[in-house]
Amino acid sequence: MKKNQILNGLTILGILCCVELAIVYYQANYNPYSEPSFCNINTFVDCDGVAQTSKAVFLGIPLTYWGFFLYFFILMLLNIDKLKILKGLWFLKVFKNPYSYISVLGIISFIISVFLAFVSIFQIHKICILCFVTYFINLAIGLIATDFNNGGFKKSLKDSYYDFISGVKEATVPFLIALMLGGIFLSYTTIEMPFASRKQSIKHFMFMKNNPYKVSGNFLGNPTGEIRIELYTDFACPVCHSYNIMLHKLVKKHNNILVIHHNFPLDTECNKYLEKQMHKGACRLARYGIAAENQGKYWDMANAIFEKNPKNDEEGIEIASKIGLDVGKFIADINSIETNKRLQEEIDEAINKGVDGTPTIIVDDRMYHGAKPYFELEKLIIRK
């Protein structure tokens, strides 16, 4: 009884960790306005960063959802005696040695966890604290469920194998139905599910340090293009960098588009509409863009800001020099009354139009909030 209680407790703890990991995954990938999670501590201990990589997904499903399946299945095995007497669940009688199955699941899951830990440390160069907690939960579950006084893990493997063979024979129809449904579900998640298709589309841009489609001057696209994309962005917005590259690729592929940029820094220093600080320093970066535009090199500066992320005016001036601006005029413009006035006018205009975050685009008078995968962005401008 004590073993069962401990295993139930560990399994529930695993489920709770997966709940929090699912929230972290969603916020990191689908909510551009979310604040860093509690386990985003530094550049190495960064749950959000791990969640944003393609390694956080397997067969189109986030790894945390696989964890849900594992722990709920273990929870079912721990309570199999109560479940198999219920009407309609007769087939659960094939589970004759639940502790053996839990032992195998726990140990195999821990072996997979060790592999994931190596990937996290040596490939991603970031670790997720909650993920590592589940790794040790898996090990604890496997060790506690193993009867070391009666054959140990070898017996657990033997029981699991022979029970599986006999179980398939006893409940062939339910097994085939489960196998078919599982195959259909995995086919769907791998090919169609947003976790896969959206992630696969956007990850290419998320990890590009430089913009291979960058342009020079004040125009992005065709100045006489029939399709106009009004873009509201923030240079300190982490998603805006990848969105910037997507838009550059879009105008390179389609010659009937003009992207018109508007500053909307989420920084209380110049944005009076914010209730709390979000992107400190974004107002300063917006002024760099306006000052560069005054000299005909807005997009030169915009791409340099996204790539270099200047932390102060000294670094901003260095960028201005490298892209060929008159440094004296640049310094005067970033501090001028005219620049501050224009920036405030852009922010006021954005608020009046209903913009409340970045990135936001307006196409055909319709507003779209947040970053979209490239294939969705392209669909917005295709004229049939």
Report the predicted TM-score, pTM, of the whole model to 2 decimal places. Answer: 0.55
Name the band, by pLDDT with cuts 50, 70 and 90, for residue 189: low
| Identity of the highest mean pLDDT range in 13-22, 155-164, 187-196 | 13-22
The predicted pLDDT at position 281 comes to 92
pLDDT attached to residue 94? 75
* pLDDT mean across residues, the chain: 86
The average pLDDT across 165-188 equals 74
For residue 187, the model assigns a pLDDT of 62
Instruction: Give 330 or 38, the one with higher predicted confidence.
Output: 330
Answer whether residue 32 shows pLDDT above 80.
Answer: no
What mean pLDDT is predicted for residues 188-216? Answer: 67
Tokens of 240: 């805006």
Residue 195 contacts residue 327 (beta carbons within 8 Å) = no
pLDDT at 292: 96
Entry field: residues in the chain: 384
**Residue-level pLDDT at 283:** 95
> How confident is residue 190, by pLDDT bands cut at 50, 70 and 90?
low
Give the residue with greater pLDDT, 151 vs 14: 14
Mean pLDDT of 75-99: 82
pLDDT of the residue at 33: 59
Can you tell me the mean pLDDT for 14-25? 92
> What pLDDT shows up at residue 259?
95
**Which region among 7-11, 125-129, 282-286 has the lowest average model confidence (pLDDT)?**
125-129
Judged against a pLDDT cut of 50, whether residue 196 lies above it is answered with no
User: Phi, psi (5° rounding) for residue 171?
Assistant: -130, 60
pLDDT tens digit string along 342-382? 999 999 999 999 998 888 999 988 888 877 778 788 888 87
pLDDT over threshold 60, residue 257 = yes
What tokens appear for 65 in the block? 């959802």
**pLDDT value of residue 181:** 79
Give yes or no for residue 193 having a pLDDT over 70.
no
Answer whether residue 1 shows pLDDT above 60: yes
pLDDT of residue 336: 95
Q: How far, in whole angstroms, is CA 12 from its chain's centroid?
A: 25
What is residue 56's DSSP assignment? G
Residue type, 223: P
* Under 8 Å between Cβ of 234 and 264: yes
Percent of the chain with pLDDT over 70: 92
Confidence at residue 84, expressed as pLDDT on a 0 to 100 scale:
76
Residue ranges and CATH numbers for the domains of the chain are: 2-203 (1.20.1440.130), 220-381 (3.40.30.10)
- Tell me whether residue 23 is exposed, middle or buried, using C-beta atoms within 10 angstroms of its C-beta: 0 to 12, 13 to 18, 19 or more: middle
Give the lowest-confidence range in 20-34, 75-89, 253-267, 315-329.
Answer: 20-34
Which residues, at least 6 apart from 223, have a Cβ–Cβ distance to it below 8 Å?
A: 258
pLDDT score for 67:
92
Q: What angle do CA 19, 21, 27 make, to 5 degrees?
A: 105
pLDDT in tens, 105-136: 999 999 999 999 998 898 878 899 999 999 99
Residue 147 CA to residue 161 CA, distance in Å, equals 17
Range in 55-69, 172-186, 206-220, 287-301 the model is least confident about: 172-186
